């Protein structure tokens, strides 16, 4: 059974960076792509970016360009998202989601990132 | 104008049917897109329900009951999520999504379905 396990909650000060991990199991990690999405408290879903697990090619949302880097580590079946220059309105639950044929069919449990000023 | 617009709330009684709409911005033709639908309950990640482009190009999430189905209202430039025989456990937030280009996705603001 395919699963994505994310790292624990983070509390950061404005201006700092955060790195969230997403460990895959139960499927062939290199054959998939992953998207990262976020959800601010009480708000809807926002796409942050996408990465191909095997090639490491990533595409980022316009508003995150220059602040986000997504990577994968094939030996450990883990994807990472680093967000820099954090602002209070980056406070959100960050999700990784497996993308297969454009379907987000498996989601991580989410990682709450709290940014205080 | 938002790319995808959803009504913020909808109420329905158990056993009845509901139609959740996802209206595309006027310059985006619903006929060209596959619409994806997700269900999210409090404290949980979204769950993929289904995708719908046409009756010949659609998909159902693993374990998702057939009473959840997709459709389109071309005249309204909207995607539809149809829920028949509503159960109390269908109370949740529902989000629509499209792949706006080949590598980025856009979500609607979500509809909160209340089962009375």
For residue B61, name the pLDDT band (cuts at 50, 70, 90): very high
Residue contact B34–A102, C-beta within 8 A? yes
Q: What is the pLDDT of residue A63?
A: 92
Share of chain A above pLDDT 90, in %: 90
Cβ contact B36–A104 (<8 Å): yes
Q: What is the pLDDT of residue A102?
A: 83
Print the SS3 string covering chain B. Answer: CCCEECCCEEEECCCCCEEEEEEECCCCCHHHCCEEEEEECCCCCCEEEEEEEECCEEEECCCCCCCEEEEEEHHHCEEEEEECCCCHHHCEEEEEEEECCCCCEEECCCEEEEEC
The pLDDT score that the predictor gives to residue B70 is 97
pLDDT at B31: 94
Q: Which residues of A touch B110 (CB under 8 A)?
A: 44-45
pLDDT confidence tier of residue A13, bands split at 50, 70 and 90: very high
Per-residue pLDDT at B100 exceeds 90:
no
CA distances from B34 to A51, A99, B30, B60, B62 (A): 21, 15, 8, 13, 18
Q: How much is the average pLDDT of A42-53?
A: 94
B101 pLDDT tier (thresholds 50, 70, 90): confident
The verdict on a CB contact (< 8 Å) between B104 and A61 is yes
Say if residue A100's pLDDT is above 90. no
How many beta-carbon pairs under 8 angstroms link A with B? 50
Q: How far is CA B62 from the centre of its chain?
A: 16
At A54 the three-state DSSP class reads coil
C-beta atoms of A102 and B48 within 8 A: no
Q: For B102-111, how does the pLDDT look when each residue is reduced to its tens digit (9 = 90+)?
A: 778 999 999 9
Suggest the residue from A103, A105, A109 to mutate for an interface test with chain B (most B CBs closer than 10 A): A103
Closest alpha carbon to B39 in B104, B72, B77, B87: B87
Q: Give the three-state DSSP class for A30.
A: helix
Predicted pLDDT of residue A103: 87
């Amino acid at each position: 059974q395919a699963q994505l396990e994310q790292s624990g909650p983070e509390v950061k000060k404005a201006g700092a960076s955060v790195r969230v991990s997403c460990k895959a199991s139960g499927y062939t990690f290199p054959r998939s792509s992953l998207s990262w999405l976020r959800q601010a408290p009480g708000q809807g879903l926002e796409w942050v970016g996408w990465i191909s697990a095997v090639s490491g090619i990533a595409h980022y949302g316009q508003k995150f360009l220059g602040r986000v880097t997504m990577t994968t580590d094939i030996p450990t079946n883990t994807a990472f998202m680093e967000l820099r220059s954090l602002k209070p309105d980056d406070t959100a639950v960050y999700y990784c989601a497996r993308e297969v044929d454009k379907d987000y069919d498996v989601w991580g449990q989410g990682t709450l990132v709290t940014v205080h000023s | 104008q938002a790319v995808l617009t959803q009504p913020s709330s909808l109420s329905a009684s158990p056993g009845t049917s509901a139609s959740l709409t996802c209206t595309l911005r006027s310059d985006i033709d619903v006929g060209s897109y596959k619409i994806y639908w997700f269900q999210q309950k409090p404290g949980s990640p979204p769950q993929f329900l289904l995708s719908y482009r046409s009756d010949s190009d659609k998909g159902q999430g693993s374990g998702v009951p057939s009473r959840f189905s997709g459709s389109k209202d071309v005249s309204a430039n909207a995607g539809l999520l149809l829920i028949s025989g509503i159960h109390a456990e269908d109370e949740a937030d529902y989000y629509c999504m499209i792949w706006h280009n080949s590598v980025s996705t856009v979500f609607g603001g979500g509809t909160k379905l209340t089962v009375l």
